[in-house]
Amino acid sequence: MFTKNKTLEKGIAFPTCLSSNHLCGHFSPLKSEDSQLLSGDVLKIDLGVHIDGFVGLVAHTIIVGEKEIKGKKADVVLAAYQAIQASLRLLRPGNLNYQVKKITERSQIPLR
């Protein structure tokens, strides 16, 4: 594809990233750091590509080794899901960033 059209912009793709528990996306541990995923860990998987000057990102969250979660962990995952669903409904021409921010903040539950 890139050999036919020399005017297409090319760029570095986003790396696939696995972040566990409290770590944010695109965490890059040092070679000397050793960590293992344990049952019950929250794992975020991010993948991004850069095609024709546009970025495409996807992400998914799973709980390692658990078929069912309960308590605060379940509340947090559900709150994040509800926030993104509410935000996605507002992503359309004519809406502003602050509208998405406002609905996302309302969807969150306080952590204690």
Q: What is the average per-residue pLDDT within 80-92?
A: 85
Q: Among 28, 26, 65, which residue's Cα sits nearest to residue 45?
A: 26
Please say if the pLDDT value at position 106 is more than 50. Answer: yes
pLDDT in tens, 43-53: 889 888 877 77
The token pair that represents 76 in the structure block = 């947090």
Band (pLDDT 50/70/90 cuts) for residue 110 is low
Strand partners, 54: 51
User: What's the 3-state SS for 79-105?
Assistant: HHHHHHHHHHHHCCCCCCHHHHHHHHH
Please say if the pLDDT value at position 108 is more than 80. Answer: no
This prediction has a pTM of 0.64
Q: Among 20, 112, 9, which residue's Cα sits nearest to residue 55?
A: 9
Please say if the pLDDT value at position 1 is more than 60. Answer: no
Question: What's the pLDDT at 64?
Answer: 92
What angle, rounded to 10 degrees, do the helices at 71-90 and 97-107 form? 160
